[in-house]
Every structure is written in C-alpha cells, then in structure tokens.
Amino acid sequence: MQLVGDGSTFEDLRARATDIAAAWGAAAAAFTSVGQERAILRLFGVAGLDRAGRPLAAEVVSRYLDPEPRRLGGGIALPFAMAMAEYDLAPQELALEVAAGHVDLGLEAELLAEPDRRAVALANAAGLARSAMERVDANRTARRELLGLLGDSTRPWIATTLAAPAIVDALDEARRAIDAGVEVIRVEVPPSRELAELMTRAGQRVDRWRAAPSSRGGLDGPDPGAEPVPAGAQRALSVLRRFVDEAGARRRGYVRLMTDQQPLAAPDQAVVAAFERIDLVMADPIREVITGRVDPDRALADHVFAHRLLARAGTRILVPAGPLVVAPDLARGLPSDAATRAGRALAMQLLGVALARRDGIPASSIAVSALPDWLVEEPNAPVRAAAEVALRRAMLPGHPLAFVEPRLPERPAATWRALVAALLPDAGDVELALVQAAGSPDAVVAMRAAASVASGLRDARVAPVLTARAVDHAQAAAAAAADTLAALQDQGWRAIVDQPLGVGSAGLGAEAVAERTESFDPLAVELGTAA
C-alpha cells in the first residue's frame, strides 16, 4: 500500500518522536533499578532458585536492599564482587549464602571505602562482566553459524504462541507447530515475583503462573515425580532452544525463539535472550507505562539497559502497534473515533521505536506491528487496516512489519487472518505473521499458504495507492499522532496517562528505581557505551 502526499508531515512526526526519545533516554540512562541489579547478578552467573525455592538473583538483591533501600543507587555489582574475594566463593555459591542469610553484602559494601579493597572488587566485577560478554558474543556467533548451516526461511516467518504452561507439554506443542510449518515459536514469560507482590499489594489482579491440571512434570521429558516447570523460565527456555535447533536441523531450516515478558522484567528478559540465544523479543517501555501502569522512570531505565544488551546479543525486537490511549477521552467525557485512537497508538509506537534506535538497535532489527489489536473489530476494518499499513510504511522506512494476531474469539480471529492474507501482497517487507493457534495446524498452514500467494502477487503487480476513506483515516490518524506527541512534549506523561496511575509514586516499581551514585559500571565498559 502506498500513501501519496506531502512527506514533510511524516518527517516532522519522526523528528518529534526522536527528540522526545533522546531526552527521555538520556535521563533514564542515569538510573538503575532492582530489575537491572537482578540482571547484573544473572550476567555474573547467578541462576535458578535458592534453597527455599525463591528466584535466587531476586532474593540476593532483596537481602541487600531491604535493610537500606538507599543502597540501590550504588548498585550491587561491587559489594557482590567484594564478597567473592572475601569468602573465595564463585557467584552461584556466594548468592546461595547471601540468600540463606549467611553473608551480609551490606558489610561488604563498607569495605569498598578502602582503596585496596575497592581495587580488588573492581577487578572482580570487570572480570565477571567480560566473561558474561564473551558468552553473549559466543551465542551471537553460534546463531550466525547455525543460520548459515541450516539456511533461513523466506520472510514472512510464520509464528505462533505456545499455550501449554509447562515445558514438557510445550515441547510437544512446539513439535506439532514446527511440523505444520511454524518458523518462530513465541513463549510468554510468567510474571516476576516483584510484579506479583507489587500488584497484590496494590489490590490488583495478577495472573500468576499455574500449571494446568494435565501438565506433566519434568524438564527435558516427562517425569511423574517432578513438579511442572514454567515454559517461560530460563532453564525451560534453554531446553526449548536445544529442541528447536534439533527440529530445524531435521527440516533443514532455522527455527527462531521469541519471548514476551511481563512488566518490570525487561532487564531479565534481555539477559535470558543473550544467554539462551533468543532470536526475537517483544520490547516496549511505552506499553509498560500505559497498559502495565509501571512508573515511567522505572520502565524507561529498564529498557535502556535491556536495549544495550539486546544490541550486543544481536537479538531482534518487535515493537507492538501501540497501546490504547483513552485518558484524553476520560478527561473530556467523550469517546474518540477510531482514527484518533489509532493515531495515538501510532505516536506511542514511534516513541518505542525511537528509544530502541537511540540505544543502538538498527532499524533493520526492529520490527513494528502493523495493526492495533482492537482494529479488526472496528467498522470498516479493511479500509482502516490498509491505511495503518501504509502509514507505517511511510513513517518507519527501513523497519520490517509484523502482523501479530491478538487473542480473539473464534470468529474475529478468522476475520483477522483473512484481513492479513489480503494485506500481505502489498505490505512490503513483512518479517513475521503470528497466529494464536499453536494447537491448530490448519491455521498455521493457511497463513503459510497466504504468505506464499502474497509473495507471488507482489512480483506480479505494482502496490496500490490508497484512496477515499483509507486516505481520510490515514490523515486523521497522522494528525492525532502529531497532537499526541506535541502534548507529550508540553505536558509530559499526564497528557496520555489516566490519573489513577498518578504518574509518579503510584506507578508500579516507582520505589525501586534510583539515580546511580556509583561511578563504576562494568557493563558500560564492556558494552562500549561509557567508561
């Protein structure tokens, strides 16, 4: 689809989003959070659960910060590295001792005031960071070599989300999906302990991970005596990575893994992606603020950290089509039309993309979802969908598109797939089409057929130019996007976020983000961003 008209409007929108992202990203880079500190421990080699069954990295951070939350700004890297030298323990062993209450990292932090002790901690922390980056780089090389050996599939890749909550059943589901032609397996990561506790404390509902009644125990295979393991846990993703590699070798085509994390977990997701060779992640701080009600400072700081690591790992990201922004409607007491809502969503997506670009991820590695989740159920959905695709083509040149099926009842889901099949021939560079039907091979086969037909049609005709109602929708959406970005520059988050969030202390995670007070950042040195 082509949108004919004055390109200066699109250039102005991109420039405004880039300016906002530059300011927000620069400020966020000066902050750390408990999520980042968990991720640093995981990079250092802390993994799995403690002896009481709690996430080990999270428990170590909690043990260090709970007595004195102001320690957060100084980070945990140097106190942890100091304790390693003092007790002559490897990272995993030390973490278990801290979690059990046998080692107090607060006392180790006090030793950093002595220059010779600090020098030892600095050397240890830098060594741990170097080892972590060597592992990240090795995985990036392994992906490249395996792709060269097995060969890549023609885009768009067909993707699906695993529905089985436990890994043993998820492996069977993944096998059926790959046999049906799926090239990307998406896994939803369960909420972190931090998110669950914060939402419970706020009186909000949280969808905690639960095994299904039929879930089988085990990790690599069924074990009747073992507890079910979440399919989105790091150890399960490691098993799934090996499984899809073997499946790709059998069919002579690389199979990708994709993860989608819950709010407050972007740094954790980045570490898992880097260590377990996850090829693609859903990553968008704007979605966390608007939909997840996360404190903006926390969301932005976490994603700056995550983007840096994902860029080093060569992991691709997918930025959703933008959340549903209704705060301005609530303030006016009147609902907005579909084009206005679509324009606000586009503005949010432009910001998410600009933030990722600012942090070093190239345009070719940032896919953008082409359609807002709610669009298929709007009047004149095909007309609006064509306009949405054309807008993103004009606004985000160099970025591949993605069609991500939302969770819909059967009939709207069938409409969504038919709509995507009609749009694919003229949508340009489409990276993936995801159907929410891992247990239904027919849907996968149908989408693969649609992609093949689209490829043939693309070579046989010129992309059509939008006319009439599609142009009206595109123009109205672009105007709404411009208004939204202008309001953000003028009023900040209050322009788009409803007041119950509070845009500050009431946002989830607001108490767990702080400006850095420690000058040493081993990851900044290793990632080549700052000394």
Q: What is the pLDDT of residue 327?
A: 83
Which pTM was predicted? 0.94
- Under DSSP, is residue 171 helix (H, G, I), strand (E, B) or coil? helix
Per-residue pLDDT of the chain (531 residues; tens, 9 = 90+): 666 556 778 899 999 999 999 999 999 999 999 999 999 999 999 999 999 999 999 999 999 999 999 999 999 999 999 999 999 999 999 999 999 999 999 999 999 999 999 999 999 999 999 999 999 999 999 999 999 999 999 999 999 999 999 999 999 999 999 999 999 999 999 999 999 999 888 888 888 899 999 999 999 999 999 999 999 999 999 999 999 999 999 999 999 999 999 999 999 999 999 999 999 999 999 999 999 999 999 999 999 999 999 999 999 999 999 888 988 887 778 889 999 999 999 999 999 999 999 999 999 999 999 999 999 999 999 999 999 999 999 999 999 999 999 999 888 999 999 999 999 999 999 999 999 975 577 889 999 999 999 988 988 888 788 888 999 999 999 999 999 999 999 998 988 886 444 444 468 999 999 999 987 776 676 554 433
CA dist 117 and 110 (Å) reads 10
Note the pLDDT of residue 531.
31
| Alpha-carbon span 306 to 284, nearest angstrom | 10
- Fold type of domain 8-23+140-469: TIM Barrel (3.20.20)
Q: Using only C-alpha atoms, what is the Rg of the chain?
A: 23
pLDDT at residue 438, as a whole number: 59
pLDDT at 530: 38
Residue type, position 69, single letter: P
Q: What is the model's pLDDT at position 526?
A: 58
* DSSP annotation of 265: -
Structure tokens at 404: 């991500």
What are the residues facing 2 on neighbouring strands?
Answer: 465
CB 196 within 8 A of CB 264: no
Phi, psi at residue 319, to the nearest 5°?
-100, 120
Q: Residues with Cβ < 8 Å from 502, sequence gap 6 or more?
A: none
Query: 2 — phi, psi (to 5°)?
Result: -120, 140
The DSSP element (H or E) to which 443 belongs, if any, is helix 441-458
Closest CA to 455 of 487, 488, 421: 421
DSSP state of 531: -
How does DSSP classify residue 29?
T
Where are the domains positioned within the chain?
8-23+140-469, 35-129
Q: Which tokens hold the place of 362? A: 């190239």
* CA proximity to 288, closest of 81, 96, 507, 442: 507
Q: Name the residue with tokens 């672009």.
A: 478
pLDDT score, position 4? 58
